[in-house]
Amino acid sequence: MLHKLLATVKKELLLLLRDKVGLSVLFIMPVALIIVMTLIQDSAFKSINEKGIPVVFVNNDQDSLGNQILQGLMTNELCYTTDSINGKPANSELAQKAVSEGKFLVGIIIPKGATAAIRKNVTALVNETINGEAASSILPDSVEITILIDPVAKKSFLNAVTSNLREFISEVKTKIMFQTFSEQVAELIPDKEQAPKNSYQKSQIIQYKEIYASNATEKIVPNAVQHNVPAWTIFAMFFIAIPLSNSILKEKTEGSVFRLHTMPTPYLLLVNGKIIVYVLVCLIQFLLMLAVGKFLLPQMGLPALVLGNSMMGIFVLTLATSFAATGFGVTVGTLATTDHQAAIMGSLSILLLSALGGIWVPSYVMPEVMRNISSFSPLNWSLEGFYKLFLRGGGVADILPEAGKLMVFFFATMAISYFVNRKKRTV
Amino acid sequence: MSNPFIIEIQHLTKTFKHAAEPAVDNISFSINRNEIFGLLGPNGAGKTTTISILCGLFPPSSGTVSIDGKDLHSELSDIKNMVGIVPQDIALYPTLTARENLSFYGSMYGLYGKNLKDKIETWLEKLGLIDAAKRQVSTYSGGMKRRVNLIAGILHQPKILFLDEPTVGVDVQSRNVIIEHLKEINARGTTIIYSSHHMEEAENFCTRVSIIDKGRILTQGTPAELIRDNAGSTNLENVFLNLTNRKPRD
Ligand SMILES: Nc1ncnc2c1ncn2[C@@H]1O[C@H](COP(=O)(O)OP(=O)(O)OP(=O)(O)O)[C@@H](O)[C@H]1O
Ligand SMILES: [Mg+2]
């Protein structure tokens, strides 16, 4: 049996090595994609130095809080702030879209009635302190300011920007509160000296909501390299479906299938030979892409890929991804009846799964609905796993759910292929 | 070896999905050990379909087949081990060389190591392919591909060999070489089932033939018997044309 398996692997390797187009699809295309996509997205950072940080401001408040923050930002030299997008007044939706597209690095949304809410809360607070009334209803009413952040922005840079912003916003807020407060207190008690100075600090009246897409606050923002290298590597790994399905179909159309199905060798063994070779190809692809991320991109003035600290985790996840990609290719090759069909079916489905999976646009900037759909794409499982390893310092244990799902996907594709193949062979 | 028949076919019928007429229609016959049995018939007669069933590519719609005492349906894997196949369509990887192709197929039939290598070299030599053996099969002429296709089916010295039109498109010189080698293989104990439209070759090569058309057996016997029984025939081709009505087929 081992001799047979080795012979199958050898045959498959030879076939692949002689397929120059297939090889270039497997190795040159992903390198090109990584470089181009990273360069495009990285240029978003460069513009910052020239005009200042592009900030879009959505003033749904149209009252003291909103107006004062806008004014402050406008006069700040570090920021290039605008409250319109393409000539139209900015609203929350437009701003979210523009930020996710990288037109602005930061978006700030002041909710409607923010100033009024602060005033109301302060009034209640005053009543609490002065009259001893229960004021537990304060917190639900607190004002939420949303800060949108470009998902490809560098993290260190963003921390600086957002903490400055926060400081400034809370300054404005404090000013408004203090004004309201003094007015209220002046109404109630003429003696300002007795006013409880600290009480507005004990409750955080304005809450910040930083979103990279949603309110998933513990999500770490990858930079262009940290996103693109794993993303396009996964994409390339799934692209083996094209040469793999092609190799399966060629065997059908070139007549070998007559021999393959009448030989005293289980068809499964032949398929296993293919799987071994293509999983190996995936692993080589992965190493190549890591090398590009670590050594080539820095040469081009881009940040170097940071691998995290679990080599074992990377290996397990890569292996699982390779199996999932290979299983996918076997299924495409089994479902299609001509190599033309396989090429179309393969490339379209991979484009679709990759778009859904957050390869092109990270899934955390997608709208809620899409994000939910996204979690059905095996490319997304893999990408999430790599984020955990590369960005959140995760280890093997952390990526086991992703790796597990990918392996389940592999076994499912093998089962589908097995049954489809049986059905197709009944003539 | 109580059973003189190596292959016994009973009421074999195959109707393809969506086909109006059966491709093989209730045929029964037996093949003796060590025969060279010819399946002769015009295009679409059902030769390839019959051979495909006998080597387990797909099951018949009805009927039973036993090969060397084993049931085709329940003991297929045993049968696969003793059978060699030379399909009508070239079944080779075009981007692999002759050696690489033969090495792969030989391995699939359980050969390996030096034994496999030696057998490949011997056959390449016998069929005049040594010089071309390093080239990819896609660069071969039709006749050369056919010869490699043949070797792939006989490398493992099968007990039973199915040949589906093995000499189509092969020049006279190679054709004679091939026939001589096949006779030699047969002399060493391999039963051969051979399909062809080449009547002269069949007459010279086969010990017994069956002429089939539209999935049915028209006649069966040694070439000499058939010529004798069909008045006015001087060779197998006359017999064949008389029985199959001289019309071109699909
Ligand atoms: N896979 C298939 N699906 C449907 N019909 C088929 C299939 N294979 C063969 N047939 C039909 O079965 C009949 C017998 O075909 P078969 O290939 O057995 O003929 P043959 O005797 O080998 O002819 P030839 O000399 O042309 O090779 C033909 O009518 C053919 O159209
Ligand atoms: Mg045929």
* Region of A338 on the Ramachandran plot (φ > 0 left; ψ -120 to 50 alpha; else beta): beta
Tokens 């069929």 locate to B127
Q: What DSSP letter does each residue of A220-276 carry, written as one string?
A: PPP-HHHHHHHHHHHHHHHHTHHHHHHHHHHHHHTSHHHHHHHSSS-HHHHHHHHHH
For residue A264, give the nearest of B91, B95, B109 by CB distance.
B109
Q: Does residue B18 or residue A365 have the better pLDDT?
A: B18
Digit-coded pLDDT (tens) for A43-99: 554 444 456 677 888 888 888 888 888 887 777 766 778 888 888 888 888 888 887
Digit-coded pLDDT (tens) for B61-100: 999 999 999 999 999 989 999 999 999 999 999 999 999 9
Please indicate whether, in this complex, the C-beta atoms of A3 and B112 are within 8 angstroms of each other: yes
Q: Which residues are registered as beta bridge partners of B32?
A: B5
How far is the C-alpha of A205 from the C-alpha of A50, rounded, in Å?
36
User: Which residue's CA lies nearest to atom 9 of ligand 1?
Assistant: B49
Q: What is the DSSP code (8-state) at residue A294?
A: I
Q: Does A11 touch chain B (CB under 8 A)?
A: yes
> What is residue B1's predicted lDDT score, i.e. its pLDDT?
52
**Pairing outcome for strands A84-85 and A88-89:** antiparallel
The mean pLDDT of A304-331, rounded to a whole number, is 93
3-state DSSP assignment of residue A84? strand
Q: Which residues are registered as beta bridge partners of A201?
A: none
B178 C-beta neighbours (distance < 10 Å), count: 22
Cβ A321 vs Cβ A285: under 8 Å: no
Residue type, A217: T
The mean pLDDT of B230-239, rounded to a whole number, is 85
Question: In 3-state terms, chain A is what percent helix, strand and coil (to 5)?
Answer: 70, 10, 25
User: Which residue's CA lies nearest to atom 16 of ligand 1?
Assistant: B46
With a 6 A CB cut-off, is B20 part of the ligand 1 pocket? no
Task: Name the helix (H) or strand (E) containing A411.
Answer: helix A396-425
Identify the CA nearest to A335 among candidates A247, A424, A398: A424
- In Å, how far are A65, A263, A345 from A55, measured between CA atoms? 17, 68, 42
Nearest atom of ligand 1 to the alpha carbon of B16? 4
Identify the CA nearest to B118 among candidates A159, A168, B126, A297: B126
3-state DSSP assignment of residue B46? coil
Best residue among B13, B15, B24, B48 to mutate for probing ligand 1, ranked by most atoms within 8 Å of CB: B48
| Domains along the sequence of chain A with CATH | 2-45+217-426 (no CATH), 53-202 (3.40.1710)
Cα distance between the two ends of chain A: 29
User: Which residue's CA lies nearest to atom 22 of ligand 1?
Assistant: B48
Nearest CA in chain B to A269: B108
How far is the C-alpha of B160 from the C-alpha of B193, rounded, in Å?
8
The mean pLDDT of B36-53, rounded to a whole number, is 94
Tokens 């890569």 locate to A318
The mean pLDDT of A238-256, rounded to a whole number, is 86
Residue type, A421: N
Nearest-Å Rg of the Cα atoms of chain B is 18
Digit-coded pLDDT (tens) for A365-419: 667 787 788 889 999 999 999 988 887 788 899 999 999 999 999 999 999 999 9
B150 C-beta neighbours (distance < 10 Å), count: 23
Digit-coded pLDDT (tens) for A131-165: 665 545 444 446 777 888 776 665 556 666 677 77
Tokens 């990377």 locate to A314
Query: Residue A331 is encoded by which pair of tokens?
Result: 């299924």
Give B60→chain A minimum CA distance, Å. Answer: 10
Q: Which residues contact A31 (CB under 8 A, 6 or more apart)?
A: A288, A289, A292
pTM value surpassing 0.90: no
Cβ B209 vs Cβ B236: under 8 Å: yes
Closest ligand to C-alpha of residue B196 is: 1
Please indicate whether, in this complex, the C-beta atoms of A258 and B85 are within 8 angstroms of each other: yes
Whether pLDDT at B27 is above 60: yes
Identify the CA nearest to A320 among candidates A363, A378, A245: A378
